[in-house]
Amino acid sequence: MKFRCERDTLVEALGAAGRAVANRGGALPVLAGVRGQLTGDRLKLTGSDLELTIEVEVEVAGEQDGTAVLPSKIASDLVRSLGDPRVTVEVEGDEATISAGRFQSSLRLLPADEFPRLGMPTDDAVTLSAKDFASALHQVVPAASADDARPILTGVLMSAEESGLRLVATDSYRLAVRDLPGTTVLKEGQSVLVPSRALKELERLLGASEEVTLRLGEREVTFEVGNVRLTTRLIEGDFPNYRGLIPASHPNRLTVPREALVEAVRRVKLMAREPNTPVRLAMSQDGLELVAITQDVGQAHEQLDAGYTGEELTVAFNPEYLLSGVDVTTGDEITLDTVDAQKPAVIRAAGAEEFLYLLMPVRVS
């Protein structure tokens, strides 16, 4: 295999494919590499840990077709460090020579015949707006759990609703639900559970793209964005019945400018020095007061102008979870609906129903 390529093109492609490379102990040694396959002037780079696979196809000046598996990190770091933008890669035997200008380096290759053959869904494709899908991922994915001990909660539920597609994630402390009206991806009543790790990578790839193509198989799903294809295994199991967590009615409603609340929470939470120290929200007809107290350190208060209907109420929240929800809620104003100090609160953009963020309160004495 031999080809010439622009340095920045190769760096970007190696970086994208490398994000799926296995970095966990126990994986096949060959999965620490990126597989390169050259056919004519098309170079396909593939990284995988068997759960997540990312393929990138770029145009190069090909001279000799072939296949090789390069160690991902060193190859990426090496190409990124090159001073000359014109790079030549040549494979002979079990070594790859990377040269640019007066620089030359050889890398020992990983055995290409050990790189697993990876299946791709071949079902009919559905094309979505990349901007809308990226917005939905930005709002929902952070609410998924990062604890592999509960694999179901590390996924994002994609389900078919009457109005379109719904995305749901929870880590049992918070719940994010986003609807994409008019978007038809799944069959009526169908739902799939997609690993949040894969969707984080997908959000990164969407960038300035206009469209994303989705192909759904029995055990995996593929997203195609420009010259990049991301495939991930679906999570098997039943997602929790999240609908029962959302209160049917809320007697108390706070309406507050979103940006003002974000800035106030960021300031006040600086005094929440201990990991479990909450921020209290005292709501009344006079507005909203935020309070954080850490014994032996100090306290912080801030008052905000806000509209409020209901009985006077003080609710405490994990400040990071509160900030995460308010931050991804769109619009100039948000509403915070509460039942009491112990039941889940619901955050929405004022006048919008497409997204809700449910947050469990923290018990305080």
Give the span between the Cα atoms of 115 and 271, in whole angstroms.
51
The architecture that CATH gives domain 2-114 is Roll (3.10)
Which tens digit of pLDDT belongs to each residue from 293-336?
888 888 999 999 999 999 999 999 999 999 999 999 999 999 99
CATH of domain 246-359: 3.10.150.10
**pLDDT attached to residue 82:** 95
Which tens digit of pLDDT belongs to each residue from 344-357?
999 999 888 899 99
Which tens digit of pLDDT belongs to each residue from 159-204?
988 888 999 999 999 999 999 988 877 777 788 999 999 999 999 9
Torsion, Cα 91 97 98 104, to 10 degrees, reads -160
**pLDDT attached to residue 300:** 93
Residue 192 structure tokens = 């799939």
Q: How many helices (H) and strands (E) does the chain have?
A: 6, 26
**pLDDT attached to residue 188:** 79
Domain parsing of the chain, residue ranges? 2-114, 125-243, 246-359
Torsion, Cα 79 83 84 90, to 10 degrees, reads -30
The more confident residue out of 14 and 248 is 14
Whether 229 and 222 have beta carbons less than 8 Å apart is answered as yes
**pLDDT attached to residue 25:** 55
Nearest to 159 by CA among 195, 198, 186: 186
Q: What mean pLDDT do residues 68-92 have?
A: 96
Residue 124 structure tokens = 């009919």
Give the span between the Cα atoms of 15 and 73, in whole angstroms.
9
Nearest to 167 by CA among 145, 183, 149, 151: 183
Superfamily covering domain 125-243: DNA Polymerase III, subunit A, domain 2 (3.10.150.10)
**pLDDT attached to residue 208:** 78
Q: Count the Cβ atoms, other than its own, within 10 Å of residue 90.
A: 18
**pLDDT attached to residue 123:** 67
Give the span between the Cα atoms of 294 and 137, in whole angstroms.
34
Identity of residue 154: T
Give the span between the Cα atoms of 136 and 347, in whole angstroms.
16
Nearest to 315 by CA among 286, 291, 282, 348: 282
Are the folds of 2-114 and 125-243 the same? Answer: yes
Q: What mean pLDDT do residues 31-51 have?
A: 96
Give the span between the Cα atoms of 89 and 104, in whole angstroms.
10
Whether 252 and 311 have beta carbons less than 8 Å apart is answered as yes
Distance of CA 69 to the CA centre of its chain: 27
Residue 247 structure tokens = 């209160």
- Where is 365: in which H helix or E strand? none
Q: What mean pLDDT do residues 91-108 have?
A: 95
> What is the pTM (predicted TM-score) of this model?
0.90
Q: Is residue 283 pLDDT above 80, yes or no?
A: yes
Identity of residue 54: I
Give the span between the Cα atoms of 85 and 101, in whole angstroms.
8
